[in-house]
């Protein structure tokens, strides 16, 4: 198994790169997606969250109200620790399952938003950083996610700087151009990953 860490700041296009690598045969493990799965209605994860934080963290349809929960835990480090204690072990167990299910020669791409922030680069054979200038990222967040500029800037400010992210990169995918340019770059990177995995 060849382990690839994929990261990039919010609005960099990391999800787009992840999707295109999956189309080429990579097994993508997306920690954020798994973190949502382990707290879906009917899961032990959601039951434990409700037991810990109360039914007020649910929408009327029984799904988790992430914004409400976020407002509770981000204001109190003890509560955040409790939430992490519920979610992280379940995410870890699911990641293990997916790893074990991967065929022997697989290229496994771990989509990790906070890879640089949490010093996780040594866990991977290769780290790919999807990079775009802050002004491009802000424009995308406003245009495609409907964020207010102030919120977009605040989200970027709490993540690692571009410089810190680029320091941990083995491969950089520059994504400030067109989707065609991105497709061409992803194709080159895939060929490089296949070659490295074979070596």
Name the pTM for this structure: 0.81
Q: Above 90 in pLDDT, residue 147?
A: no
Q: What is the structure's pLDDT at 151?
A: 85
For every residue of 4-25, DSSP letters joined together read EEEE--TTS-HHHHHHHHHHTT
Percent of the chain with pLDDT over 70: 100
Distance separating alpha carbons of residues 16 and 124, to the nearest angstrom = 20
Once rounded to an integer, what is the mean pLDDT over residues 64-84? 89
Q: Are 124 and 4 in contact (CB under 8 A)?
A: yes
Domains and CATH numbers, the chain: 1-26+106-199 (3.40.50.300), 30-105 (3.40.50.300)
For residue 190, pLDDT over 90 is answered with: yes
Mean pLDDT of the chain: 93
* Model confidence at 135: pLDDT above 90: yes
Mean pLDDT over 50-54 rounds to 97
Sheet holding 126-131, edge to edge: 27-30, 107-111, 2-7, 126-131, 171-174
Per-residue DSSP letter, 40 = S
Higher pLDDT: 154 or 134? It is 134
Reported as a single tens digit per residue, the pLDDT across 107-127 is: 999 998 889 988 999 999 999
**pLDDT for position 77:** 86
Residue 74 has what pLDDT?
80
- Distance (Å, rounded) from C-alpha 6 to C-alpha 114? 10
pLDDT of amino acid 118: 87
Would you place residue 34 in the very low, low, confident or very high pLDDT band (cuts 50, 70, 90)?
very high
Q: Tell me the average pLDDT across 71-90.
A: 90
Cα–Cα distance for residue pair 107/23, rounded to 1 Å? 12
Is it the case that residue 60 has pLDDT exceeding 90?
A: yes
What pLDDT score does 130 carry? Answer: 97
At 2-33, the pLDDT tens digits run 999 999 999 999 999 999 999 999 999 998 89
């Amino acid at each position: 198994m060849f382990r690839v860490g994929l990261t990039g700041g919010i609005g960099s296009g990391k999800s787009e790169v992840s999707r295109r690598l999956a189309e080429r045969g990579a097994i993508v493990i997306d920690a954020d997606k798994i973190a949502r799965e382990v707290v879906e209605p009917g899961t032990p994860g959601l039951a434990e969250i409700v037991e810990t934080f109360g039914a007020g963290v649910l929408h009327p349809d029984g799904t988790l109200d992430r914004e409400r929960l976020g407002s509770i835990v981000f204001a109190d480090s003890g509560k955040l620790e409790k939430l992490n204690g519920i979610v992280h072990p379940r995410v870890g167990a699911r990641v293990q399952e997916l790893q074990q299910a991967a065929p022997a020669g697989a290229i496994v791409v771990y989509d990790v938003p906070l890879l640089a922030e949490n010093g996780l680069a040594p866990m991977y054979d290769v780290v790919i950083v999807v990079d775009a200038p802050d002004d491009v990222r802000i424009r995308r967040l406003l245009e495609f996610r409907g964020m207010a500029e102030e919120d977009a800037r605040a989200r970027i400010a709490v993540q690692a700087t571009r410089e810190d992210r680029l320091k941990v990169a083995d491969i950089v995918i520059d994504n400030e151009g067109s989707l065609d340019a991105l497709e061409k770059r992803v194709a080159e990177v895939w060929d490089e990953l296949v070659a490295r995995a074979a070596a």
